[in-house]
Every structure is written in structure tokens, then in C-alpha cells.
Structure 1
Amino acid sequence: MPRIRLAGPVAASAVALALVAGAAPALAQSQPAAPAQQVQIMAQYPALNLAAHGEVKIAPDKADINFGVVTEAPTAAEAMAQNAERMTQVMRALTGAGIEARDIQTSGLNLQAQYDYVQDQPPRLRGYQATNRVTVLVRDVEAVGTTADAVVAAGVNQIDGITFGLIDPTEAENQARQLAVRALQNKAEVYAQATGLRLAGLRSLTEAGGYQPQPPMPMYRMALQSSADAASTPVSAGELSVRIDITGVYDLAR
């Protein structure tokens, strides 16, 4: 086979191509792994997605009482006037019980016509009913029963319920958060030990829940019939539950 000789620029170009071709494998070996390979390596160690909660029991330090004055009269003006007179007495009773003006809020004022219905006859106007509802914040839970008795004696004829709560739930919530994080960490360590891996770090942490006031506790009509010389209406505040729910994602490694 005849030999082909390259001379001048053509020979130099051929040499350069040979050098590049020879260096290609070495360059490929020195470069880092491709992103797809890195993802595959990380996928060998699963992540933990866990949930836990912390709960604190605490005595309430406030109570909201919802009550109303309902009056009926032949005319709307009379119904409203009677209601206003009785509600004025109720406000005085609240002041006498140590309730401040800032803790008294009107929650509803309503006036409705009242009808009598007889079969096969048109409705007959009986009169008008006026309703004035008030929400009172009691900062001393020990005084809830005596406060309820005081407003009933002054003219309140409807008590819708009592709601116990916390004026500032921050401290209880923070205690519940600490308990929740400890529970989450303990659970993650158990899973890591069981899988033969170790915790590489906490990737994310999410909180849910928190302080929720309890539903109103109804006070029945029998409490409104207590006489002035009877013992105060017994009311038990009990305990509130402050719960924090969290979820966390932990990375695992060998």
C-alpha cells in the first residue's frame, strides 16, 4: 500500500487532530459526574416525612358571657323603651360586679313584630319584641357565677352561653411547640436507627394547629330562676388544651 506523506499546513492540522482525539478520554475522566448521576446517588438514601404534636393543658384565665334582655310590648316604641330601661340596670350591675366598660360589647340589637296564627285566619299582630344582646369579658374566672347572678337579678332573661379562654395563649403555644419538636426529633431518630442510617439534617418544618377557644358552654334556664338569697350559680372552668401540630422532612445518610 503506498504511503501518503502530508506536508506543510495539512500535516500540522492532522497532528493537532490526533492530539485532541488522544486527550478526549483523559478530559472525560477528570470532569465531575453528570447531574443525572448525582440525582441517582442521592436517591439511594430516602428522606423522612414525619408528623408529631405537642399538647399543653392549662387553666383558663378569662370567660366570655353572652346574654340578652328580651322585652315585649303592644307597640315597637314601648318594647324598645322597656328594653332600654332594663338594659341600663344590667349595665349598672356589671359595673358593680367590677366589669370595666372596655369589656362590655353589644353583640346584637333586634326588634321584631309578633303574630298569633290561627288556622284559616290571617295572622294577627300581637305586639313587638325587642332584644338586646351583650358579650361580657370576665377576667376573673372565679367571678363568672356571681356575675351571671348579678345580671339576671338586674333584668337579663336570656343567657346564651359561656366561653372560657386565654387572654394571651403565647406562652402555652410555645411550650406546645417545644414538646412537638422533641417528639418529632425522637421519632426521626427511631426511624433512622431502624433503617441503619443517620439523620443528615432537617430539611423543612411546618406548623399547624394552635390555640382554639372552646365552644360556648350553655347555661340553662333553670339558672335564671335562682332567688336572690340562693347560692351563686356554680360554674367550673376546667382546663383548656393548647395543641401544636408539626410536620418535618429529614435527610438520611450513611
Structure 2
Amino acid sequence: MDTTADTIDDKTPDRTPDKTIALSTTGLLVAALAVLALVVAYLLGGSGGTPVAQAVTPVPTAEGADAAPRTLTMSGVGEATAVPDQVTFDLSVRMKRPELDEALDAASRTMTRVLAALEAEGVERKDVQTTGLEMYPVYDYPRYSPPVLTGYRVTQRAAVLVRELRSAGGAVSAAIDAGGNAARVGDIALKIGDPEAALGKARRLAVEEATLKAQEYAEATGQELGAVMTLREVEATSLSAIDERPLAYEMAAAFRSSADSAPLPVSAGRADLGVTVQVVWELAA
């Protein structure tokens, strides 16, 4: 009996370490599985809930894609001539008086007379735009003496548009006649009242030229033009400048209107406008 008890007591301590080691290994496996689950959850969350393997979109092969359409690109240039039918010029009135308010009053009265003369020639008030007002003192500089104030000079400026070319000469002459020596006329320029009309003709000619060239190339290569895919205006510019002749005061004074003199003659000249377009056609199958 005593021998059996001693045997059991000797074997019991040997079994306890084996059980402890088995439990520790199982804990490590559970922890590793938990970490692995967290990593998978993180990856799924970063990809918006889509598995990483499905986030790559397969690239379609060339066999499944439609072939790009065959196209033909051609440019064309159109030109049109326009005759200026309007005139613009700058108008100024300068007055010098001993006092500033006197100079302002004199300049205003003179400009009012000039505007009335322009209106009598068919120029509407809306076509006269004030562009500036200058006021500054005038000094005399004697030798060996301080400057002496001699008065004030006031200048009123305006831009005038004459909508009918035949009235331009009379308008310029009337302005100079009404303003006298205080009036100045300059920068007379011819203007096209409706440039879009001339540009519209140039655009049509540009498209016609591009179409004709495209048809010739298509026929030469045994192709046939299809529908127009794109049309782009590359450039729309004036090919030659409109004739502009500034008119100094001395020249204008020689043409002042009077009962026995003709108005200042104005020649219209011409302006060439150009447009370049680029057209892309699809070649018919």
C-alpha cells in the first residue's frame, strides 16, 4: 500500500508541466488567428470593403475593343473684302484763362457749341463719349526770377463716332468751325460698322475650301468622306490694316466749313478680313 502511494505521488508532478505547455501553445494559436483577422479586416476596410484581389480591374484586350474611327483633317482659309462705312475721331477743346473756374466755364461753353454742331450734322449725343478732362496751372519762367503763374489751362476730350461715312467730312468741318482755335481734331480712322457680316462670308469660304481639298484627297486614296466630327476656327484676323489717317489741327483748319466751301473729303478705302478653319471628317467604311 505504501509503495503504491509513493508511486502515484512521484508521477503526479510529471503530468502538470505537460498540461501547462499544451495550454500555452493553444493561446498562441488563438492570438495569431486574432491578429490575422485584424490584418484582413484592415485590408478590407482600406479597399472600401472590396477584397484586394478584386480591386484590380482587368484590362480589355484589343480583340474586344472597337477599332478607332479613320479620320481626315483639313484646313481652309477664307477671305472677304469689307468697305469701311463709319468714321471715328478724337475731339478736344483747350482753354486758358487767368482763373481756373473761368477756364472751366469757357471750355464747357465751347464744347457745348461743338456738340450742337455735330448734332446738326447727324451725330447723336450717344455717339460722343467724354474721354478726359485736364486742368493744370501755366507758369512763365523769366530768367533769373522765380516762376510766375500766368493762368490755368483746361482741356476737355471726347471720342466721336460718325455712323454714316457720307456725313464724316461735314462733321469734322463743323466741329472745327464751331470750336475755332480752341478745337482740335485728330486720329481720324475708318471703321467697319458690321465686321461680322464680312467675317461670315470668309467663314463660309474657308469651310468650302477645306471641304474641296478633303474630297480631293479622299478620292485620290479611294476613300469617301463621312460626317464632320469637329470644326474649329483657328484664326480670324484682319489681313490688311484699315486705312487710318490722323488729321492735325492745322490741316483741319484749312477745311473749315463755310457757305462757299465743301466739307472735308474722306475716302473709304477697303479692308481685307481672313478666317482659317480646321475640319475633321470621318472616313466612310
Q: TM-score, normalised by structure 2?
A: 0.64
Distance between the aligned counterparts of 2:244 and 2:141, measured in 1? 34
- State the partner residue of 1:244: 275
Instruction: Report the Cα distance in structure 2 between the residues aligned to 1:116 and 1:197, rounded to whole angstroms.
Output: 84
Q: CA deviation at 1:80?
A: 1.2
Structure 2 gap ranges (5+): 1-60
What are the superposed Cα offsets for residues 11-65 of structure 1, whole Å, 9 maximum, x if unpaired? xxxxxxxxxxxxxxxxxxxx99232x835xx5xx5x4333222222122232222
Measured in 1, the distance between the counterparts of 2:166 and 2:209 equals: 35
Q: 2:162 aligns with which of 135, 138, 160?
A: 138
Seen in structure 2, the aligned counterparts of structure 1 residues 82 and 192 have a Cα distance that, compared at 3 Å, is same
Per-residue CA deviations over 1:135-164 (Å, capped at 9, x if unaligned) read 222122012111100000011632222232
Query: Of 188, 191, 194, which aligns to 2:217?
Result: 191
Equivalent residue for 2:113, pick from 89, 93, 97: 89
- Determine the structure 2 residue equivalent to 1:98: 122
Aligned to 2:231: 205
Distance 1:207 1:49 in 2: 13
Normalised by the length of structure 1, the TM-score is 0.71
1:234 — aligned with what?
265
How much has 1:120 moved relative to structure 2?
8.9
Which residue of 2 is the match for residue 58 of structure 1?
Answer: 82
Aligned length: 218
| Contact 2:202 2:274 (8 Å CA) reproduced | yes
Change (3 A) 1:88 1:252: same
Deviates more, 1:113-122 or 1:154-163: 113-122
Q: Larger Cα Rg: Structure 1 or Structure 2?
A: 2
Q: In 1, distance between residues paired with 2:86 and 2:120? A: 18
User: In 2, are the aligned partners of 1:63 and 1:138 still within 8 Å (CA)?
Assistant: yes
Query: Relative to structure 1, is the Cα distance of residues 122 and 243 closer, same or farther in structure 2, using a 3 angstrom cutoff?
Result: farther
Q: How does 1:213-232 map to 2 (within 5 A)?
A: 214=242, 216-226=244-254, 227=256, 228=258, 229-232=260-263
Q: Pairwise CA RMSD of aligned residues?
A: 3.1
Q: Residues of 2 paired with 1:250 and 1:114: CA distance? A: 70
For the 8 Å contact 2:97–2:151, the answer to whether it is kept is yes
Which one of 129, 138, 148 corresponds to residue 153 of structure 2? 129
C-alpha separation in 1, matches of 2:248 and 2:129: 22
For residue 67 of structure 1, report the CA deviation from its aligned partner: 1.3
Q: How far off its partner does 1:169 sit?
A: 3.5
Pair 1:205–1:122, CA change in 2 (3 A): farther
Once the two structures are TM-superposed, the CA of residue 126 in structure 1 deviates from its matched residue by 4.4
Residues 169 and 211 in structure 1, CA contact (< 8 A), matched pair in contact too: no
Q: Residue 38 of structure 1 aligns with which residue? A: 67
Measured in 2, the distance between the counterparts of 1:114 and 1:209 equals 50
Residues of 2 paired with 1:50 and 1:126: CA distance? 70
Identity of aligned residues (%): 32
Deviating runs (4+, > 4 A) in structure 1?
Answer: 115-126, 208-216
2:136 to 89, 97, 112: 112
Amino acid at match of 2:269: G
Are residues 1:158 and 2:184 paired? yes
| Contact 2:86-2:161 within 8 A present in 1 as well | yes
